[in-house]
Amino acid sequence: MSERMPRVDELLREEISAHIGRSLSDPRLGFVTVTSVSTSPDLRHAKVFVSTIGTEEQRVASLAALKSAASHLRTVIGKGLRIRRVPDLHFELDEAGDRGARIQQLLEAGYITDFSDLFGLTVEQLVSLERFGTKSAENLVTAIAAAKHQPLSRLLFGLGVRHVGAQAAQLLAKQFGSIDTIIAATPEQLGAVRGIGDIIAASVSAYFADPTSRALVERLRARGVRVDEPNAVQADGPLTGATVVLTGSLPTLSRTDAAALVEAAGGRVTSSVSKKTTFVVAGEDAGSKLEKALELGIEVIEEAELLRRTGQ
C-alpha cells in the first residue's frame, strides 16, 4: 500500500511551525505555536490558528508580527516546498482548550522560560497554581516524566527544525543514533541518508550550528530527556547495504518486527522485488513476490536465517 500523501494544510502547518519557531524568538513576544491550518477549497487562502502565550502585550505583539510576516512566510514556504502559488495566510488566535491557559499560569509564576523547563516541574509548583489539584498535578508530572523517555525521533520532531517532519526525524534518528552524532555530522553526511537530501540536511546543520539551539539541547539533556534512538542502525551492521523484501507470514516475527530487525542491522526493506534486491525473507502463503524472486534468481531465506544473519 502506498504511503498517504500529506494534505496541503498539514504541509503548511509544518512549514509555518518550523519557521516561526526561530523567526519569532524576540523576547518581547510570547510563545507562539501553530495549532491548525485550514485551506479554502481553491487553495487560494489559508486560515492559520495560532496559540500565543505570554502577557497580553506579548500576545498582541506576536499576532501583529505574524501578520506582518505573512508575505515573507509565503515566499519562504514556496521555496521550501517548491510550489509557485502559496495560499494567502490569515492568522487568527486559537482560544480553544485550556492548554494555553495552563502554560500561561506557569509563565506568570516564573516556573518556565522555555519548553525545557517543563521537564523540571514539580507537584509542589503545580498545586500552588489556581485550579490545580494534587491529583491533576501528580498526573501531569507523571506524564512529563514518561515523555522524557521518548526516542530521539520524537525530540527531533518536537524541536521544530525547518523541513524536518516526523518521517525525516525518524530517518535521521535511526541513522545517526544520538543527537550528538547528528550535531557533529556534516551537511554531506546528513544529506547522504536516504530520504533526507540537501535541503533538509542544510536546515538541520544550520539549526544545530546555532548556539541557542545547542544550549536548548543541553538544557533538555540536563533535565533527563532522552537524546538517543533505541533502534538505531548499526554503522557497520551485518546487513549494511542490503535491500530486503518480506513476504508471507513468518513463524514468530510480525512484519513490523522483521523490518525493524533488518533496519537495525543496517539493511533496507522495500515492498517489491527487483534485480537490486539482496534477498527475500519468505514465510507461509508467500505469493507473487516469492515467484518474482525465484524468476530473477534472488536468494530466498526463512525467518531462522534472518535471525541468524542479524545476530539474534
Q: Averaged in consecutive runs of 10 residues, what is the pLDDT profile of the chain (312 residues)?
A: 50 70 51 75 82 67 79 75 75 61 78 86 91 85 86 85 82 89 92 84 92 92 91 73 90 86 83 91 90 93 92 79
Answer yes or no: are the C-beta atoms of 285 and 272 closer than 8 Å.
no
- In the chain, residues under CATH classification 3.30.300.20 are 1-96
Pick the CATH number of 1-96 from 3.30.1370.10, 3.30.300.20, 3.30.70.260, 3.65.10.10: 3.30.300.20
Q: Please give the pLDDT value at position 158.
A: 80
Q: Please give the pLDDT value at position 82.
A: 66
Q: Please give the pLDDT value at position 107.
A: 80
Answer yes or no: are the C-beta atoms of 242 and 266 closer than 8 Å.
yes
Distance, CA of 157 to CA of 165 (rounded, Å): 6
Q: Please give the pLDDT value at position 5.
A: 39
Distance, CA of 270 to CA of 188 (rounded, Å): 24
Q: What are phi and psi of 254, to 5 degrees?
A: -75, 165
- In the chain, residues under CATH classification 1.10.150.20 are 99-147, 152-222
Q: What is the CATH number of domain 152-222?
A: 1.10.150.20
Q: Please give the pLDDT value at position 13.
A: 73
CB count, 10 Å around CB of 242? Answer: 17
Q: Please give the pLDDT value at position 50.
A: 77
Q: Please give the pLDDT value at position 7.
A: 59
Closest CA to 151 of 63, 220, 230, 95: 230
The residues with which 50 forms a beta bridge, in sequence order, are: 34, 93
- Give, in order, the Cα–Cα distances in Å from 41 to each of 44, 89, 298: 8, 14, 48
pTM of the model: 0.55
> What is the 3-state composition of the chain as percent helix, strand, coil, each rounded to the nearest 5?
50, 15, 35
Q: Please give the pLDDT value at position 171.
A: 85
Q: Please give the pLDDT value at position 29.
A: 57
- In the chain, residues under CATH classification 3.40.50.10190 are 243-309
The full length of the chain comes to 312
Distance, CA of 179 to CA of 177 (rounded, Å): 7
Exposure string of 90-126, with b = 16+ CB inside 10 Å and e = fewer, is: ebebbeeeeebebbbbbbeeebbeebbebbebebebb
Q: Is the CATH code 3.90.1200.10 the one for domain 99-147?
A: no
- Give, in order, the Cα–Cα distances in Å from 307 to each of 77, 227, 255, 297, 311: 45, 28, 13, 22, 6
User: Regarding the domain delimited by 243-309, which CATH topology (the fold level of the hierarchy) does it fall under?
Assistant: Rossmann fold (3.40.50)
